[in-house]
Chains A and B, each alone.
Chain A
Amino acid sequence: MRLGVRLLINNIFTYFSAISIVLMAGSLLIIIGPMICKGSGAIFFRSTVEFRELQFNMHNRGSKQALDEQKALAESARTPVYEILNHFKQGIDTSSLQTKVRENYRQYGQQLRFQNIDRNKFTEYRNQAKELRDELVAAYESVDVNEIRPHLQKVLDQANNALFQNTPIAEYFQFARDYQQIISTVDLRKRDQYAQELTKVQEQIRLLLGPQPGRGKPALAMDQYGATRMDRAKVVLDELMWTTQWVEIEKGKPLQKKRTPRAEIFAGTEMEKLFSYIEQNLNAMLLPKPAVYWQYLIDDSTPGHFFGGIGPEIIGTLLLTLLAIAFAVPLGIISAAYLVECAGDTITVRIIRICINTLAGVPSIVFGLFGLAFFVLYLFPLAGMQSKPCILAASLTLALLILPVIIRASEEAIKSVPQTYKEASLALGASNFKTFISVTFPAALPGILTGIILSLSRAAGETAPILFTGAVALGPIPRSIFEPTRALSYGSYDIAVGDRIAALVPHQQFGIVTALILLVLGLNICAIAIRWKLAKRFRGT
C-alpha cells in the first residue's frame, strides 16, 4: 500500500512537470508566434506599384521600363478618380474659382493695354468685362439656386460677343456652363459640409494613390508616395469608404462607434460614384504583387520609419551588444578568477560579493543615468573628448549592466572545475597562472559561456541604459564609436511612443521587434553552438 502511494505521488510529480513544461513552451509560442508572423509581414507582403516606384527612385531597384509600363497602366485606372474629384471640386471650391475669375480679368486688362486702343474704348471694354466678372463672382458667392441662375444667364448672354473672342474672358463662359450644370446636381446649401468632407477624401486618396499628378512634388518623402503595401491600402480604403462617429445611443452609457458609408454624405452628386469606382478598381490602380523585401534588413529608413528598412538599427544593436560583451567578458572573467582563485574569504571579499549580487538586481534605468553622469558628463571631458552620447558610452554602460551576471556565472563555473584538474596541472610543475589559463579556464568555459549568453540577450534588448548614453531614433549610420547610433530596442520604443507613426506603420514596429528577437536568438544560437562544441570536447566524445 505504501509503495502504491509512493508510486502515485511519483507519477503525479512526473505528469505535473511534463504539463508545466508543455504550458511554458505553449505560452512562449503564443507570445512569440504571432509576433514573428506579424513581423515577417515587414518582409513578405503584397507590394503596390507605389512600392516599386519608391524602390526604383530611392535604391534604383527594378527595371525602369517595367515600372513605366505599370505606372502608365495604373495612371489610366486612376484618371477617372482625379477627373471626378477635380470636376466636383469646381462646384464646391468656389473661393479658388473666384480667384481664377479675378485673375482672368486682370490678364484681360493687360491684354487690352498692349493693343494700343484709345482710352475711352479701353475703359468701355474693361467695364463690360468687369460686369461679367461681378456676375460670376456673385453667382459663386450665392447659395440660392434661383439667385444664381439669372447671374449665370447674364454671363452666358455675352457668349457670342466678338469682343471677348480669344481673350481670357472667354473662359468665363465655360465656367458659367460648368457651374450651371453643377448647381442642378449639388445642393448648394450643403456646400460647406461637402468642402469639409472633400478635404478628408482628398487626404485619403493621397494616402492611397500618392500626390495628384501634375501638382508638383511634395517636400517630405512620406508624402511623395501612396500606399506601398496592399494591407495598408486596405486600411486607407476602409477609412475612405466609411466615416466613424462616436454617438451616444443611450443616455449615460459609454459612447458607441457608428460607421456610416462616406458615399451617403455625397448622395446625389457625381462624387457618389467615385467611392464605388475606387473600391472596384483598387487593384487596377495599385497593381498588387507579392514581394519579398529582404532589403528591409539592410535598408535605411526614411525619417520616421515610414518607408524603408531597419539596417542601421541592426548594425547599431550588433555593435552595441558585441562591444559591451567585449568590454564586460574579459573584465568579468578576470574578476571572477580573482575572487575564486586569489581573494580567499575575507570580510572585504564578502562585501564585494554582496555588492556584485546587488548590482545584478539594480534597475537598468539607474545604469543609464549612471552612464550619462559618469561616462558622458564626467569621464569624456576628462579624457578630452566631446561630452556627447555615443556608442562607446552606451556600450560601456551596457557592459556595466551585464558585468555582475558575467562575474557570477564565471565564478560559479570556475568554482565547479574539479580540484583534481588543478592539482594535476600543479603537480606537473605548472604555475597558478599557467594552471588557470590552460586547465581551469578551458574547463570552465562552457559555464562562462552560459553567463555570456544570458547577458548577450540582456544587452541586446535593454533600452534604458542606452536611452541617455548613445541611442538616437533617427540619424545616419555611425562611422566611429564616438557617434550615437540607432538601436532595435530604442527604435521600437521610439515608434511606440512617437505620436502617429505606430498606427500608420504597424509592420515596422513588429518588424523591429521580430528582428530583435531573431537577432538575440541568432547570437544565442552561436554561443550555444560554441558551448556545445566545447562541452563535447570536454566530455571527450
Chain B
Amino acid sequence: MVTKVLSMPSNERHVIKINRPKMEAKQGNPGLSGSPEVNTIIESRNFWLYYGSKPGVRDITMKVYSSSVTAIIGPSGCGKSTFLRSINRMNDLVPGTHAKGYLGVNGTNVYDPKINLVNLRQQIGMVFQKPNPFSKSIYDNIVYGPKLQGVSKADLDDLVEKCLHSAALWDEVKDDLHKSALALSGGQQQRLCIARALATKPNVLLMDEPCSALDPIATGRIEDLIIQLKKAYTIVIVTHNMQQAARVSDRTAFFCLGELIEYDTTDHMFTNPSNKQTEDYITGRFG
C-alpha cells in the first residue's frame, strides 16, 4: 500500500491511494463502449518508461483507436507528455531513458532496437506545445519532411497546398509562401506546424498541449481543425484544459503520478467518472 501526499494543504481528501484506481482502470473495457467497429492503432501493454532509475510512466495498458481523438489529461508531472513522446520515441533525446513492456503502433513495437526511427517518426506526426516553425520560409517548413522522404520536386507544390488546406491556413498565406514562417502570428505558426506534420503523410498525429501558448480565438481555430482532421488521422492530444478535452476528444485518458487512472469515452468520463480521483480532477477539486 503506497500512499503519496501531493504538495497541498494536508487534508484527508488529498491523500491519493495509488494502486486502487489502477485496478479499476484495468477492470473496465476502456474506450470500446458503443463503437465496436474501430481499429486499434496504438496499443500499450504494461508499458514502463524510466528516466534513469525513476519511472516516468508506470505500467500503462491502453489502446488508441484509429480516426478518433484521444485526449490525455492529468496534473503536471503525471507522465502524460512522457507517454505521448514515447509513441514516436522523442524521449530518446533525454539521456538515460529506457523502456519496459510493449508499446506498438500498427502492430510494431516502437521500442524494438531494430526499428527504423526515421520511418516511425514519419508515420507519426507531432505538434509541440510551443509553435516551433523553422527559421525558413513557410514553403520550406512544409517541404522539410517530404524532402527527407525523397518526394520529387514536381510534387512538392501540390503537397504544400494540400497540407496548408488541411491545416486551414492556405487562404491566409497563399500569397506569401516564401516569406519567413516566423513572421506569422502564434496561431498561424501552430497551424503551420500542424501542416508540416501532415506533410509526411502520417497515420497518427501527436499533439502535446498544442494550444497552451495561444489565445482563445487561435485555440478555437485549432480545435476546429482537430475535429476536421480526425476523419483522416488518429489524433492523440495532451491537454491541461479539461474543456478542450471535452470539446474535441472522443476518448479521454486520465493520468496521475505516472499511472493511467481511468480511460473511457469522453462523454462517459466527464459525466459519470467511475473513479473518485478522476471526478475530483475534472470537477476541479484537485489538480
Residues of chain A at the chain B interface (Cβ within 8 Å)? 344, 418-431, 434, 438-439, 442-443, 537-541
Q: Any chain A CB within 8 A of the CB of B118?
A: yes
A424 close to B132 (CB less than 8 A): yes
CB within 8 A of B148: which of A434, A538, A541?
A434
Bound-state CA distance A154–B130 (Å) is 118
Closest Cβ of chain B to A227, distance in Å, is 60
Given contact pairs A420-B130, A423-B90, A540-B183, A428 touches B121 in the complex (Cβ within 8 A) = yes
B273 contacts across to A, CB distance below 8 A: none
CB within 8 A of B122: which of A423, A428, A438, A439?
A428
Given contact pairs A539-B182, A541-B183, A429 touches B200 in the complex (Cβ within 8 A) = yes
A423 close to B121 (CB less than 8 A): no
A422 close to B93 (CB less than 8 A): yes
Bound-state CA distance A168–B145 (Å) is 106
A428 contacts across to B, CB distance below 8 A: 121-122, 125, 144-145, 148, 196-197, 200
A424 contacts across to B, CB distance below 8 A: 128, 132-134, 193, 196
A430 contacts across to B, CB distance below 8 A: 118, 144-145, 148
Q: Any chain A CB within 8 A of the CB of B39?
A: no
Q: Any chain A CB within 8 A of the CB of B181?
A: yes
- Give chain B's interface residue range (CB within 8 Å of chain A): 20 to 34
Closest Cβ of chain A to B151, distance in Å, is 12
Bound-state CA distance A426–B85 (Å) is 12
Q: Any chain A CB within 8 A of the CB of B88?
A: yes
Residue of A nearest to B179 (CB): A540
Nearest 9 A/B pairs, CB to CB: A540-B182, A540-B180, A428-B145, A427-B126, A429-B122, A420-B132, A429-B121, A540-B183, A429-B118
CB within 8 A of B125: which of A427, A431, A541?
A427
Closest Cβ of chain A to B282, distance in Å, is 29
Bound-state CA distance A537–B180 (Å) is 7
Residue of A nearest to B88 (CB): A427
Given contact pairs A344-B95, A421-B132, A427 touches B90 in the complex (Cβ within 8 A) = yes
Bound-state CA distance A439–B145 (Å) is 12
Bound-state CA distance A439–B134 (Å) is 7
A-B contact pairs, 29 of them (CB 8 A): A344-B95, A419-B93, A420-B130, A422-B93, A423-B128, A424-B193, A425-B134, A425-B144, A427-B88, A427-B125, A427-B128, A428-B121, A428-B144, A428-B148, A428-B197, A428-B200, A429-B118, A429-B120, A429-B121, A429-B148, A430-B118, A430-B144, A430-B145, A538-B135, A539-B182, A540-B182, A540-B184, A541-B182, A541-B183
Q: Mark B93-110, 1 if CB is under 8 A from A, else 0.
A: 101000000000000000
A434 contacts across to B, CB distance below 8 A: 148
Bound-state CA distance A430–B196 (Å) is 13
Bound-state CA distance A462–B140 (Å) is 43
CB within 8 A of B132: which of A423, A429, A538, A540?
A423
Q: Any chain A CB within 8 A of the CB of B283?
A: no
Bound-state CA distance A418–B134 (Å) is 11
> Most chain-A CB neighbours within 10 Å: which of B90, B122, B148, B149?
B148
A422 contacts across to B, CB distance below 8 A: 93
Q: Any chain A CB within 8 A of the CB of B119?
A: yes
Main secondary structure of the interface of A (DSSP, over half): helix
Bound-state CA distance A421–B132 (Å) is 6
CB within 8 A of B144: which of A419, A423, A438, A539?
A438
A541 contacts across to B, CB distance below 8 A: 180, 182-183
A442 contacts across to B, CB distance below 8 A: 135
Bound-state CA distance A537–B136 (Å) is 8
Interface members, chain B 81-97 (any A CB < 8 Å): 88, 90, 93, 95
CB within 8 A of A429: which of B119, B130, B179, B181?
B119
B182 close to A429 (CB less than 8 A): no
A420 close to B135 (CB less than 8 A): no
Closest Cβ of chain B to A445, distance in Å, is 10
B120 contacts across to A, CB distance below 8 A: 429
> Most chain-B CB neighbours within 10 Å: which of A423, A425, A429, A431?
A429
Closest Cβ of chain B to A449, distance in Å, is 15
Bound-state CA distance A264–B181 (Å) is 85
Bound-state CA distance A224–B148 (Å) is 72
Bound-state CA distance A423–B94 (Å) is 11
Interface members, chain B 133-186 (any A CB < 8 Å): 133-135, 144-145, 148-149, 179-184
B119 contacts across to A, CB distance below 8 A: 429
B130 close to A423 (CB less than 8 A): no
Closest Cβ of chain A to B233, distance in Å, is 15
B118 contacts across to A, CB distance below 8 A: 429-431
B117 contacts across to A, CB distance below 8 A: 429
B183 close to A429 (CB less than 8 A): no
B125 contacts across to A, CB distance below 8 A: 427-428
Closest Cβ of chain B to A442, distance in Å, is 7
A427 contacts across to B, CB distance below 8 A: 88, 90, 121, 124-126, 128, 197
Bound-state CA distance A322–B121 (Å) is 42
Closest Cβ of chain B to A534, distance in Å, is 9
B145 contacts across to A, CB distance below 8 A: 428-430
Bound-state CA distance A431–B118 (Å) is 7
Bound-state CA distance A419–B135 (Å) is 14
Closest Cβ of chain A to B179, distance in Å, is 8
Residue of B nearest to A535 (CB): B135
Closest Cβ of chain A to B185, distance in Å, is 11
Closest Cβ of chain A to B231, distance in Å, is 22
Bound-state CA distance A443–B181 (Å) is 14
Closest Cβ of chain B to A338, distance in Å, is 15
A426 close to B90 (CB less than 8 A): yes
Closest Cβ of chain A to B273, distance in Å, is 32
CB within 8 A of A426: which of B93, B180, B193?
B93
Closest Cβ of chain A to B171, distance in Å, is 20
Interface members, chain B 29-57 (any A CB < 8 Å): none
Bound-state CA distance A419–B133 (Å) is 12
Interface members, chain B 173-225 (any A CB < 8 Å): 179-184, 193, 196-197, 200
Closest Cβ of chain B to A239, distance in Å, is 65
Residue of B nearest to A430 (CB): B148
> Most chain-A CB neighbours within 10 Å: which of B95, B118, B149?
B118
